Structures are given as C-alpha cells and as structure tokens.
C-alpha cells in the first residue's frame, strides 16, 4: 500500500526540494524564480491545457454535480474563513479576504497537476482539467471583487467589473482552456510542427512547476504569523477536502470514483501562490498568505501521503466496475 505512495510523493517533493535548496544557497536567484514561474503559468500550462483538452473526449453536458461539490465546498471554507478571521483576530475586511482565500485556494497548477496525473494517470485528465479550467474563471474574479471592495470601501461597480474581466480574459490559463475547447469542438488538428512545439512545452510542466514552487517557497519562510497560520493550514489541508468529499458523496452523489478522488485531492492541495500575489498587489496580508503557502506545503507531505494511501486501498464511493460503466457512459460526449 505504501510503495505506490512513496513512488508518487518522493519524486514530487524531491524535485520541489531541489528547487528549494538551489534557491536557498543562491544558485537560483529570485529574478530567475519569477521568470521560471511565469514560464510555467504563461506558456507551459496553457499549452498543456490546449493539447489535453483538444484531444480529450468531453462530456456533452456540464457536470454540475461535480462542479457544485468542489465549489460549494470551497465557498463554505471561504466564508467560514471570513467569519473566523473576524471573530478570532478582528482583522479588516481585506485581511479577512486574504486569510479566507489562503484557507480555500488550492495549489491546483504547480502541485495539483503533477501529483494527480502521476497518481491517477490519463483517467484523471478530464475531471482534473474541468476544475483547473473553471478555477480561474470563478475564484480570480471573486478574489478581485472582494479585495477591490475592501480597498475602497464601496468600489464603483464599473471599476470592479472592468478589472475582473480584464484579469479573467488575459489569464493565460483561460486562453489555453478556451483554445483547447475550440479545437476540440471544431475538430481542429494542429499543424504537426506546431503540435510538436505545444507537446514539448506541455511536457515541461511537471519538472518546471515543482522546481519553481520549491524555489518560490524560499521567500515565504520568514516572518510567519504563528497566531493565524496553523489554523488556516489545518482548514486548508484537512477540513477543505473533508467538506468537498462529503458534498460529492453524501449530497450530490457523484458516481465516478475517479472523479471523487480528483476532487478530494485538489481540495487537499496546500495553499497556492495566488493569495500571496494578490496580497502583494493590494499590500495587505502578505505574511499570512506567504506563511500559509510555506507551512501548508511542508505539512502536505504528510497529509497528501496519508490521503494517497487511503485512495490506493479504498474505492471511496463506488466500485471499479462502476467506474468502467461510467467511463463508457461518458464516451463521445462534449461540453456545450
């Protein structure tokens, strides 16, 4: 049971540690880290989205039960975080927003993609990228709107909508997703040399993302506010996946076991870098967001190992036979 878990976790966090140590000793400075991180977000992952979505058999109906399981669970954690921060620490609204998103915004790209694809293989591609593709559409505008409100008290609706829309439609992940959907829907095949370029960029996601994440964490390890961070880390890595699993299995009845597993693994990912990026942009809550990203990533070595061990020996909700029947049922359908 533990052999497969070690085979998955050790390479993932081993490569992350290579990035961390390299940046710690000064062999990879912060300007190089920013460049590599931008390469992953702006080029490699969009190409992975484009190539994967363009060739994947998509369902012909939107899986609302699947989406609701993840995002309703995420919103429960988000708004609970707002209330908890207000009650326990009496923070301003902007600080409440940073804390709440630090406890609910998973590292879906830099860590989620490598771990889930390595753990579950091609059968996880479709459910994984349904969440990856919608994560930015749903979470980034909401994050922007809430921080704009906190920044200006009552931000003009036009200003908020304009900034959120611009951030959404210039997001490389969204561009890659939409491009993949267009190619899939119209059955567009990329010119072979162009497809090879896209393939090479897509194949660089796992090593570059993990190295970049490890190198990024070096700047997050200082000035950690221990009053708040441990509670937020527990909420993110333990409470969040439990809530999502409960909704998927007990409320919405998601039938496909692999889809439930992907949901839970995504919810169990540590805090992503986006809360810190937003905190830096709005000059609020930087220490909490960076400290949460660092500590939750370290803590996730344990939590993700335990979760993967559980998923390796349990089918969670349904049988393998049901999975096979579901995969047949999903064949040849498209999102419309």
Question: Is residue 130 scored above 80 in pLDDT?
Answer: yes
How far apart are alpha carbons 91 and 18 in whole angstroms? Answer: 37
From the list 291, 116, 283, the residue with the least C-alpha distance to 209 is 116
Confidence of residue 317 (pLDDT cuts 50, 70, 90): very low
Kindly report, residue by residue over 177-198, the tens digit of the pLDDT: 889 889 988 989 889 999 999 9
Q: Residue 274: its pLDDT value, please?
A: 84
- Please say if the pLDDT value at position 13 is more than 90: yes
Residue 207 has pLDDT above 50, yes or no: yes
In the structure, what pLDDT confidence band is assigned to residue 173 with cuts at 50, 70 and 90? confident
Closest CA to 69 of 329, 261, 233, 235: 261
Gap between the Cα atoms of 61 and 111, Å rounded: 28
User: What's the pLDDT band for 4 if we cut at 50, 70, 90?
Assistant: low
> Are 215 and 275 within 8 A, CB to CB?
no
More confident residue, 318 or 152: 152
- Average pLDDT of the chain? 86
The pLDDT tens digits of the residues spanning 38-97 come to 898 889 988 988 988 888 777 778 899 999 999 999 999 999 999 999 999 989 999 999
Which H or E element spans position 336? none
- Flag whether pLDDT at 321 surpasses 70: no
Instruction: Count CA atoms closer than 13 A to 330's CA, side-chain side.
Output: 20
296 contacts 269 by C-beta, under 8 angstroms: no
Higher pLDDT, 326 or 313: 313
pLDDT at 52: 83
Cα 97 from Cα 106, distance rounded (Å): 15
> Whose CA is closest to 330, among 253, 224, 259, 239?
259
Which H or E run contains 314? none
In this prediction, residues 109-135 reach a mean pLDDT of 89
Residue 332 pLDDT more than 50?
Answer: no
pLDDT (0 to 100) of residue 8: 84
């Amino acid at each position: 049971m533990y052999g497969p878990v070690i085979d998955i976790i050790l390479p993932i966090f081993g490569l992350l540690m290579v990035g961390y140590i390299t940046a710690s000793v000064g062999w990879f400075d912060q300007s190089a880290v920013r460049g590599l991180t931008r390469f992953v977000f702006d080029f490699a992952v969009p190409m992975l989205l484009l190539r994967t979505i363009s060739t994947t058999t998509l369902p012909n109906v939107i899986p609302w039960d699947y989406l609701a399981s993840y995002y309703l669970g995420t919103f429960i954690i988000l708004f609970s975080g707002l209330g908890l921060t207000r009650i326990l620490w009496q923070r301003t609204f902007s600080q409440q927003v940073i804390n709440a998103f630090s406890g609910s915004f998973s590292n879906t790209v830099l860590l989620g993609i490598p771990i889930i694809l390595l753990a579950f293989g091609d059968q996880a591609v479709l459910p994984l990228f349904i969440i990856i593709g919608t994560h930015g559409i749903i979470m980034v505008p909401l994050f922007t709107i809430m921080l704009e409100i906190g920044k200006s008290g009552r931000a003009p609706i036009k200003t908020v909508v304009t900034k959120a829309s611009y951030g959404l439609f210039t997001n490389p992940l969204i561009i890659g997703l939409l491009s993949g959907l267009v190619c899939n829907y119209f059955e567009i095949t990329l010119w072979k040399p162009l497809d090879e370029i896209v393939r090479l960029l897509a194949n660089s996601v796992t090593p570059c993302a993990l190295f970049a994440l490890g190198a990024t964490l070096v700047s997050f390890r200082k000035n950690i506010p221990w009053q708040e961070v441990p509670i937020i880390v527990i909420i993110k890595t333990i409470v969040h996946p439990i809530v999502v699993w409960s909704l998927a299995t007990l409320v919405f009845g998601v039938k496909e076991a692999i889809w439930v597993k992907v949901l839970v693994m995504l919810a169990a990912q540590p805090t992503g870098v986006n809360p810190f990026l937003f905190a830096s942009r709005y000059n609020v809550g930087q220490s909490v967001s960076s400290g949460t990203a660092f500590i939750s990533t370290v803590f996730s070595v344990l939590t993700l190992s335990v979760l993967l061990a559980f998923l390796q020996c349990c089918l969670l909700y349904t049988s393998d036979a049901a999975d096979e029947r579901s995969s047949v049922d999903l064949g040849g359908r498209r999102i419309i």
